[in-house]
Chains A and B, each alone.
Chain A
Amino acid sequence: KAGVTQTPRYLIKTRGQQVTLSCSPISGHRSVSWYQQTPGQGLQFLFEYFSETQRNKGNFPGRFSGRQFSNSRSEMNVSTLELGDSALYLCASSLVLPQETQYFGPGTRLLVL
């Protein structure tokens, strides 16, 4: 069974631009969560989606948004990029409940210049 896939793997943007990251969960998994990893703040929860609905959201500004499609694929968008948004963005999927094991993708490394 294929794992969680994320595209693109690497991205370079400039301040003020916006970016969209994509995540395809493991087949049959319906819950998708997103995390941001930075050296300063560590791994932080962004949001979680199930059945196209956001069930939970972390403490991030409104510039960070996401959505989930009917096939469980998810996208996250960051508008008006800031230097501090440079990070590794990780997507994780689980069957139904996020308390179940979350399996992570390889991440998207975003560099904002």
Chain B
Amino acid sequence: AQKVTQAQTEISVVEKEDVTLDCVYETRDTTYYLFWYKQPPSGELVFLIRRNSFDEQNEISGRYSWNFQKSTSSFNFTITASQVVDSAVYFCALSEFDRGSTLGRLYFGRGTQLTVWP
């Protein structure tokens, strides 16, 4: 079973539009961490945010904001006033803490390709 689901494979928007990338996760651990990474065409995964399971406060960083809802197992990412430079593949990831057998493992979603047109 997929631990992290990103249902949106591709999203296209025009510059200055707001866009939300969805992420749904599945875990039985009570302690876990959620991440978002950005992968531009160069290939390197760029860290955006890390959230632990006990902190459900939404976070805003400039044009980026994240909505974490344990009740729906979702950790969505919104870009406000999108720009062409935001074009990339965005990955949501889960790290479980309670079970040592999966220590060190990030479970990634399949990613969402975001294209922002000028």
Binding site for B on A (CB under 8 A): 31, 33, 35, 42-43, 45, 48, 50, 55-56, 58, 88, 90, 92, 98-107, 109
Residue of A nearest to B2 (CB): A42
Residues of A within 8 A of B44 (CB): 104-107
Could you list 30 examples of A-B contacts with CB < 8 Å? Answer: A33-B104, A35-B106, A42-B108, A42-B110, A42-B111, A43-B111, A45-B104, A45-B105, A48-B105, A55-B104, A56-B104, A56-B105, A92-B106, A98-B95, A98-B104, A98-B105, A98-B106, A99-B33, A99-B103, A100-B50, A101-B35, A101-B50, A102-B47, A102-B106, A104-B44, A104-B46, A104-B47, A106-B42, A106-B43, A107-B43
The binding surface of chain A is classed by DSSP as strand
B102 interfacial contact with A, CB 8 Å? yes
Residue of A nearest to B97 (CB): A99
- Top 6 A-B residue pairs of the complex, sorted by shortest distance between their CB atoms: A48-B104, A98-B104, A104-B45, A43-B108, A106-B44, A45-B105
15 additional A-B pairs beyond A56-B104, A104-B44, A106-B43, beta carbons within 8 Å, are A33-B106, A42-B109, A43-B106, A43-B111, A48-B105, A55-B104, A56-B103, A56-B105, A92-B45, A99-B33, A99-B103, A101-B47, A102-B106, A104-B47, A106-B44
When A43-B91, A98-B95 are in contact, do A31 and B104 touch as well, CB less than 8 Å? yes
